[in-house]
Amino acid sequence: MRSAFTLALFFALFAASAFSSGQRDTRLSPRALKGLGIEDDKFAELPVQSFPEDGYIVDTYQILPLGESNGFYQIWDEVHLDETDGLVKLLKSDEGSNALWQITLNDFKGMQRRPKLLDFSDGTLLAAWESASAGTNNVNLWCMRVDNKDGSFLWPLPGVLSCAPKNQQSVSLARLSGGGIAAVWEDFRNGDPDIYYQEIMPDGSPVYTPDGVAIEKVEGAQLKPGFVLDESGFAKKLCWEDYKDFNYPVCTITIDLDDLSVPEAGALPLLLSLLFLLRRKA
């Protein structure tokens, strides 16, 4: 009898300990976006508690300050452990690190990851992310404009930065003085990574031909594209690293946006919008 009582007491204490541990993980932990792939010391930089769904981990995140206040925006992906699915989420926090709203930017099937966020300082935000919904080795780039008051979508469907074959990745975003959006990325549609560019109008339609235009498409690898901004924070120049081959050192190339040739304007293909709807989760 005594041994049975002791065994029962042991299991009771074990269960209480497990429950207490679970409570600490989900309610009392000061760390936000808890997940694999992010070093523990970085959690101290994330004051908002927002944990991935069951079976998901955080792969990347970005924080932007909220105007002149002490609040901020926080965008991140939640990647399923088997890498068959992923979500992109966006949160707005006040100066006390209290979440004002939180939204899921996409409900595609397949992997959605590595989001980027751009604050237009006019009450709107632009989020872009990589989507593998088209299949293996076919990562595309999509974007959505959001009202910063309540997180509502300002476009009926996400804008297409590129749905070209093979992979598009490492997108950089910048504001244009006319109110549009500039985007540049690494593009593997021709084999080695090249630099492609697109501009998006405030309504979500592309300025250049769909899937973007080639800025640098030569032998070797062109990587790490980005923007040089003017004193007002608008895109002024493009820059990237160019690797001709392993026998030459890397060089940084910069080009003024005013020097870009403008191809014939294109419109957002209806087919891409239909494909987006078909890929949404049931």
What number is the average pLDDT over the span 145-173? 95
Q: How confident is the model at residue 214 (pLDDT cuts 50, 70, 90)?
A: very high
Q: Mean pLDDT lowest for which of 21-35, 64-78, 246-260?
A: 21-35
Please say whether the beta carbons of 181 and 200 come within 8 A.
yes
Please report the pLDDT score of residue 56 as a whole number: 80
pTM: 0.76
pLDDT band of residue 267 (cuts 50, 70, 90) is: very low
Report which of 196, 192, 218 is spatially closest to residue 209, judged by C-alpha positions. Answer: 196
Q: Would you say 82 and 100 are in contact if contact means Cβ atoms under 8 Å apart?
A: no
Which of 22-31, 34-43, 133-142 is predicted most confidently? Answer: 133-142
- Using the predicted structure, report yes or no on whether residue 25 has a pLDDT greater than 70: no
Residue type, 44: A
Domain 105-279 is in which class? mainly beta
Residue 89, pLDDT above cutoff 50: yes
Average pLDDT over residues 96-101: 86
For residue 132, CA distances in Å to 76, 90, 251 come to 16, 19, 31
Average pLDDT over residues 258-281: 47
**Helices (H), ranges, the chain:** 2-23, 270-279
Compute the distance between CA of residue 132 and CA of residue 100 in angstroms, rounded to an integer: 30
Q: Residue 159: which H helix or E strand, with range?
A: strand 159-162
- For 171-181, write each residue's pLDDT tens digit: 999 999 988 99
What does the pLDDT read at residue 244?
75
Tokens of 195: 């630099």
Q: Are 72 and 117 in contact (CB under 8 A)?
A: no
- Taking 60 as the threshold, does the pLDDT of residue 43 lie above it? no
Strands 112-119, 124-131: pairing is antiparallel
List the chain domain ranges.
105-279
- Provide, rounded to the nearest whole percent, the portion of the chain with pLDDT above 70: 72
Number of neighbouring beta carbons within 10 Å of residue 22: 10
CA 249: distance to chain centroid? 31
At 243, phi and psi to the nearest 5? -115, 100
Element (H, E) at 24: none
Residues in the chain: 282
Residue identified by tokens 């769904």 is 53
Q: Are 185 and 169 in contact (CB under 8 A)?
A: yes
Beta bridge partners of 189: none
Per-residue pLDDT, 273 = 39
Query: 281: which 2 tokens?
Result: 């989760």
Q: State whether the Cα torsion 166-167-172-175 is positive or negative.
A: positive
DSSP letter at 258 equals: G
Percent of the chain at pLDDT exceeding 90 = 40
In the three-class reduction of DSSP (H, G, I as helix; E, B as strand; rest coil), residue 229 is classed as strand
Q: Quick check: 98 pLDDT over 50?
A: yes
